Amino acid sequence: MSKHRKNMSGDFKDFAVDDTNIPLVKRSHKSYTNDFLDEEKGGEKHGLIEQGMREKLIIRGDLLKRRRKFVDVQVLMALIGILFMLVENELYLQECITKLSATSIILKSVVSVSTIILLFAVVMYYMTEIKLRLTDNELDDWRLLVTFPNVNYKVFLEILICAIHPLPINVTFPISGPDGRTDHVSSDGVLSILMMLRVYLLGRVAVVHDTLLSGSATRSLSALNGVLIDALFVFKALMASNPGSVLIFIMISILLINSWAMRNCETFYQFERDNTNFSNSMWIVSITFLTVGYGDTYPVSVCGRCVSVATGLMGIGTTALLITVILKKLEQTRAEKYVYSFVRKAQLDKGRKNAAADVIKNWLLLCNLRKHSDVIDRSKIHVHRKLQHAIRTMQESRKTRESIGESTVGLIEVSKAITDVEHRTEMLQKSVTELKHGLIHLQATTTDLHFKLNNIYRVLMKSNKT
């Protein structure tokens, strides 16, 4: 007996293994080949999918960080270029330097170097954006995403805007004065003004540095709904959340930038130099922006007139936005509409009841007057007019009440009504289903009762025969 137990313990000892991957069923067995191998392949496939998703998320995160760095470089180089351009411009306007002096050439050389770095960052930004879209759409060829006319024009336009800057050399062109005198002026004035177009990069910074807009969930939702998250999307979101602050920022920015541009134009390209101080330029821009135009002062140079036209167009657009915001703020809320409509309906109901009482009273009075005399006199005409006025008041009150009821119906009320109809339809369907089951049960009970009555009838017939 002890020997048998020893052999059994030895068998179990040999059976116990540490490798859990060895199956308990032979690999040649049908159940193993059909079940276990399928599960093993499915697990490997699931693991490969998870690994691919993990790698995709890692690559996407790296591309987002790289894109953010390129945008930071763009904004930094743009601000550096604008800053050095302003310094060189102010030194020249104050007649501290000339366009051929070493200080001017050095400052404009720094602007040129920052512009070259800016252009490189713009190109790398678009390359990173294409790689990011390839990763999101799981594509291999960039030509499947890039539409040549639109993307080429967009990239070319952005490179052109960022490339405009005052050159380290003095480029001049001739202009004619009012007296017919021709003079050669520098092109740095126009190039400096056009360089201010780089402020569009601030919208790109707001897009890439907002964690809510740059998250994977937001990008996935935007891709599913066909929404492009860009600077325009950010502007709409800010106008929806903080419209007053956005409009104030836009108006102050337009006032300062256009005043500086007007001063530049009138200083560089005007012989009389009447509007060369900043206060006169701000006055011209302000009255043009507000579309007032008193006519006491006006730009003389062609460049200044172009700035005035652009300022007027900006003023019209900003005024339209301001009116929209004011109307939105003055619009009644849902609760205010309900309160006003309730009070207004109560007032109209009261007026309608009073008008109905006046109709009855004047009708009885008119009938009484007609009973006593058939002659049409002033009293009958007066009572008849009061009767017509009461009838008209009652009809107008009814129409006004109906129009108030229609004006309070919005999308929320329609949605609630649709939900109520769907709920009632579901309840009706359930009631019909229960009624159908009840009819089936009643039919079965009736059939059973019919069979039982037949059996009773047969038994009674047999008993009568016997």
Structural domain contains residue 272: yes
Structural domain contains residue 163: yes
The pLDDT score that the predictor gives to residue 183 is 74
- pLDDT of residue 188 exceeding 90, the answer is no
pTM greater than 0.75 (yes/no): no
Question: Which residues, 6 or more positions from 370, have their beta carbon under 8 angstroms from its beta carbon?
Answer: 380
Does residue 428 share a domain with residue 402? no
Structural domain contains residue 20: no
Please state, in angstroms and rounded to a whole number, the distance separating the CA atoms of residues 33 and 25.
10
Does residue 372 share a domain with residue 318? no
Does residue 37 share a domain with residue 138? yes
- pLDDT of residue 267 exceeding 80, the answer is yes
Structural domain contains residue 382: yes
What would the pLDDT profile of 343-363 be if each residue is shown by its tens digit? 888 888 888 888 889 889 888
Does residue 378 share a domain with residue 254? no
The pLDDT score that the predictor gives to residue 280 is 85
Does residue 260 share a domain with residue 145? no
Structural domain contains residue 185: no
Structural domain contains residue 122: yes
Does residue 145 share a domain with residue 36? yes
Boundaries of domain holding 453: 422-466
Does residue 363 share a domain with residue 267? no
Highest mean predicted confidence (pLDDT) among 1-10, 37-46, 266-275: 266-275
**E strand intervals along 156-241:** 172-176, 182-186
Structural domain contains residue 180: no
The pLDDT score that the predictor gives to residue 398 is 85
Pick the more confident residue, 227 or 96: 96
**pLDDT mean over 189-218:** 82
Does residue 383 share a domain with residue 426? no
Please state, in angstroms and rounded to a whole number, the distance separating the CA atoms of residues 261 and 310.
11
Assign residue 319 the CATH number of its domain. Answer: 1.10.287.70
**pLDDT mean over 71-81:** 92
Does residue 272 share a domain with residue 373? no
If one counts the domains in the chain, the total is: 4
CA distance to 65, 75, 194, 211, per residue, from 118 (Å): 18, 8, 16, 24
What would the pLDDT profile of 137-174 be if each residue is shown by its tens digit? 676 766 666 666 666 788 888 899 999 999 888 887 77
Does residue 311 share a domain with residue 236? yes
**pLDDT mean over 225-251:** 82
